[in-house]
Amino acid sequence: MHYLRTIYNPPAYQGAKKKRKYFEGWYHKHVSADGQHAISVIGGISHNENKESQAFIQIIDGESGRTAWIPFLAEAFVACPRSYDVWIGNNHFHSRGLTVDVSNDEITFKADLEYNNLTDLQNRSLFQPGIMGWYRFVPRMECYHGIVSLDHQVSGTITIDDTTVNMDGGYGYMEKDWGRSMPNSWIWFQTNYFTDARASIMFSLADIPWMSSSFPGFLAICHTGETQQRFTTYNGAKISAISVGDTNVRVEFVNDTHVLTVDAQSSASGTLLAPQHGSMV
């Protein structure tokens, strides 16, 4: 029963019965109304191969590339079994917003945010419960991916050290990953900041380990207005062009009816801690 309840509800906590070589994390991205600030917060839990566990909060400033990592005792992590509702100490992560108040030698960070008009994934079905499609049912994959909201409105404030950012009228995005390890290598892209439309685009391209081998897998989704187009390994889409440089990436996805071309430039970069066999390294 627990398996069915979680498999058809990807945003909810999947790892209640996992205590070794496991991680789960929720990614909240926020862009201010003027596009000048892009601040992401990740909350999660990890268990390494020795059953040593810790909860964590990670902060990423997309404009400066600054990152900060705040560990917690595993006992600080509390998750609702039926919906996305997670506490890490006094910090609250859920599908309608977040409240975070943390500090260490690197950073003092506070966020009190509310989300409205969430955009769910369309075309869910018995055999495609989420963005991974039928791959969600493949056993022993090292990493699973879920979408919580492709686009939503943000209100509230974020304070980093002595600087407070007003996020009223801003843009939000939420996703999550869980499993044992992130892929060996991957490219990930997401944006929902457009000056003339409410739209959201994300893609992930990765070398995915499975059993004793690996395979290249990708998923991309473009949401514009009321329509969503998926370009994924499991629905027969193809990558017709790809170019990756030190500061840019260009990828072209093709399905039976549409072409999605992403041409992106990078600015500052930072260090992202990612799981390997449950250890955040």
Letter string b/e over residues 12-41, b meaning 16 or more CB atoms within 10 A of that residue's CB: bbbbeebeebbbbbbbbbbbbbeeebbbbb
> Taking CA 102 as the corner, what is the angle to CA 29 and CA 48, rounded to the nearest 5 degrees?
80
- In this structure, what DSSP letter does residue 120 have? P
- The C-alpha angle with vertex 123 and arms to 16 and 225, in degrees rounded to 5, equals 115
Kindly state the helix (H) or strand (E) to which residue 263 belongs, with its residue range.
strand 259-265
| Per-residue pLDDT reduced to its tens digit, 12-69 | 999 999 999 999 999 999 999 999 999 999 999 999 999 999 999 999 999 899 999 9
CA-to-CA dists, residue 3 to 16, 20, 66, 137, 145, angstroms: 10, 18, 38, 11, 16
Q: Are 151 and 14 in contact (CB under 8 A)?
A: no
One-letter amino acid for residue 244 of the chain: V
What pLDDT sits at residue 43?
Answer: 98
136-148 b/e with 16+ CB inside 10 Å = b? Answer: beeeebbbbbbbb
pLDDT of 2 strictly over 70 = no
Report how far residue 278's alpha carbon sits from residue 281's, in angstroms, rounded to the nearest whole number. 9
pLDDT at 162 over 90: yes
Q: What's the rounded Cα separation, in Å, for the pair 205 and 243?
A: 12
Give the SS3 label for residue 136: helix
Q: Give the pLDDT band (50/70/90) at residue 136.
A: confident
Collapsing DSSP to helix, strand or coil, 215 comes out as: strand
CA-closest candidate to residue 276, choices 188, 206, 185: 185
Estimate the share of the chain in helix, then strand, then coil, as percent rounded to the nearest 5: 5, 55, 40
The model's pTM is 0.94
Confidence tier at 238 by pLDDT (50, 70, 90): very high
pLDDT-derived band of residue 138, with 50, 70 and 90 as boundaries? confident
**pLDDT of residue 79 exceeding 70:** yes
